[in-house]
Structure 1
Amino acid sequence: MNVLVVGCGRLGTRLAGLLDEHGHDVAVIDSNPDAFRNLSESFSGITVTGMPMDMTVLQNAGVESCDAVAVVTPDDNLNITVSQIVREFFGVQNVVARISDPARENVFERFGLKTVCPTNLAGDSILTALTQPLASKNLSFESATATFHFRAVDQAHEGIPVSAAPKDVGETVFGVLHKNGTLELYSADRKIILTEGDKVIFAKVID
């Protein structure tokens, strides 16, 4: 895909780098030329200095041939303006805008824009960390995704080796989180005996 990233702050830098690593053709716009120093030395895309609302700047960045545009500056008002320009004047339908103010997210959506609100995402993540510290976690490794989840050791399973812990089809033992807070990784030549209060970590490839 040809993707234009508007804004080269922390989020824009991260996004542009990920897109570039995945083989997409990437262009980045920022009004501050120093912002491009944050990009990796291996970044193979193009950078364009200028005001994102300037249609000539957008054209110089190749917006007319873009399949998707991400508008991720720290300014919500600028993001909605640029997103509308890209959609209405250049006909790019796949536009995603960063919205820092959760109260504005619904407003943006009424304009037909796809939005991502870092404030809401961070709030949800912190809530999960506080209230569900042992919730399942997913990790992606290139094209594969693995899920990790915990099961508490009850009295009935105390004293058995972790290799004998009951598990579902496709699961493998990853390690044991002991009740004292230490983590012990499992290997076939390592015998770990379970005690009540421990938590067994299981891993399973889901994609």
Structure 2
Amino acid sequence: MRALIAGAGRLGLQIADALGGSGYELTIVERDDERIAELERRLPGRLVSGDACEPAVLEDAGARVTDLLVATTGEDEDNLVISLLAKRQFGVSRVAARVNDPDNAWLFDDRWGVDIAMPVAAPLISLIEASGTAEGRMRPAAAAQQGQRPVRETPLDPCGSVRAALGGGSQAAQAGGDRSAEPGGRHETPDHARTAAGGHADPRTACHAVWGPANRTSMSSGGRAAAPACVPPPGLAPALREAMSAPVGGQLALRVLVTAASKHGATAEIAERIAAALRSALPAAEVDVQVPSKVTTLERYDAVVLGSAVYAGRWLDSARNLAVKHSAELARVPVWLFSSGPVGDPPKPDEDPVDAAPLVVATGARQHAVFAGKLERHHLRFAERVVATALRAPSGDFRDWAAIDAWASRIVQELQKV
């Protein structure tokens, strides 16, 4: 059996590991050349450099002879294009696609070549809205026809099912034991969906009491649904089913990027210290350290710590450019910023760097910290020594490692909630 995975991010690697372990012949398409070089020694199978949205790239990757294609990029529009090409142009029999934004879940169906949508970051409600009652994967329970009754009293059909959700009006909710299932409601397609479909509404009978496979969700004794699992239909490969069945926000390891612009190495050492603290406190997390100038995409990261040395009250260009260029990507994940550079006693200035406030807004950073820096005159160029002398900046290492460690600990606490 052959499998083609588009995107070598966190989910892509999770699925690749599962499929590779089950004997699948793997091909992975990734457009980041540095990422490919990083994975060459780690992953079995073939790595193809290129954009999977391009038919020629999929052709080269063997889409015509693959049995399974999984689109796992961080962009929904890319995953839809890849799925459509796979199904319509290359005739791939089974296509799975990652849903990044729950608002886009309604698009991920057979019209776009998607056999199973993977709402990696979405709650159960989005899964239900995306799949409706299609193909028997979720169906109205008897209460929807028989009249109002508490969910815990709703008969289950077939054996091995659980109560998953209630819907009414335009929304659905988790099915608690005391909530009632009522017949006769309808769930209209959102206006934006209707427009995209050419103006034709696609009303669906509301799943007032919905059942799905028992491993889609588990119920406590009080009748409340536990953390949902994204479960593909029975026809999907067992290894992929396993990889996709982790509870949302559950077993997939966090991937964190720590990146800092440093002129003489002092700020880079702060970044390394923060990364070490994260690795120690979060052993399951993957923590990468990279200089900003080498960062080409943030697609595969779940959190970012970005810092810079400060000169003349400003961040270095490489760090500032990364924050501005990738502001949309950064705004989607937890971000922390830090500045390093003030020296003396007291070392910290009365005000933050002049460009810090706009960067905090652009990235949606949770916090911006300012740490004291280090100044060794023998490392400075002539012009820098002149400026340091004019400002009467003292030499020495003024970095407060206890403060840096404490800040890293607060980041750990936040990441444990992600």
Output the TM-score relative to the length of structure 2.
0.29
Identity %: 27
Contact persistence 1:69–1:94 (CA under 8 A): yes
Please tell me whether the aligned partners of residues 80 and 97 of structure 1 are also in contact (alpha carbons under 8 angstroms). yes
The answer to whether the 8 A contact 2:88-2:113 is kept is no
Count the aligned residue pairs.
136
Shift of 1:44: 2.3
Name the counterpart of 1:113. Answer: 114
2:58 is the alignment partner of 1:63: no
CA distance in 2, matches of 1:95, 1:17: 18
Partner deviation per Cα, 1:39-63 (whole Å, 9 max, x = no partner): 4845320000011112221111111
Q: Which amino acid is the alignment partner of residue 116 of structure 1? A: M
Query: Equivalent residue of 2:12, what SS?
Result: helix
Match of 1:104 in 2: 104
The whole-number CA distance in structure 1 between the counterparts of 2:26 and 2:119 is: 22
For residue 170 of structure 1, what is the aligned residue in structure 2? none
Letter in 1 for 2:81: T
1:48 to 2:80 alignment: no
Matched AA of 1:94: R
Q: Which has the higher contact order (CA 8 A, sep 6+)?
A: 1
CA 1:20–1:38 in 2, change beyond 3 Å: closer, same or farther?
Answer: farther
The one-letter code matched in structure 2 to 1:120 is A
Q: CA deviation at 1:81?
A: 0.6
Structure 2 CA distance, aligned partners of 1:58 and 1:104?
24
Q: Does 1:6 align with 2:9?
A: no
Contact 2:29–2:50 (8 Å) recurs in 1: yes
**In angstroms, what is the RMSD of aligned CA positions?**
3.4
What CA deviation, in whole Å up to 9, does each residue of 1:27-86 have, x standing for no partner?
Answer: 000100222355484532000001111222111111110001000000000000111011
Residue aligned with 1:60, SS: helix
Q: Deviations over 1:153-174 (max 9, x none)?
A: xxxxxxxxxxxxxxxxxxxxxx
Q: Who is 1:162 aligned against?
A: none
User: What displacement does 1:96 show?
Assistant: 0.4
Letter in 2 for 1:118: V
Q: Greater shift after overlay, 105-114 or 13-22? A: 105-114
- Alignment check: 8 A CA contact 2:36 2:49 kept: no
Q: Which has more strand, going by share of residues?
A: 1
- 2:103 maps to a residue whose letter is A
Shift of 1:112: 5.0
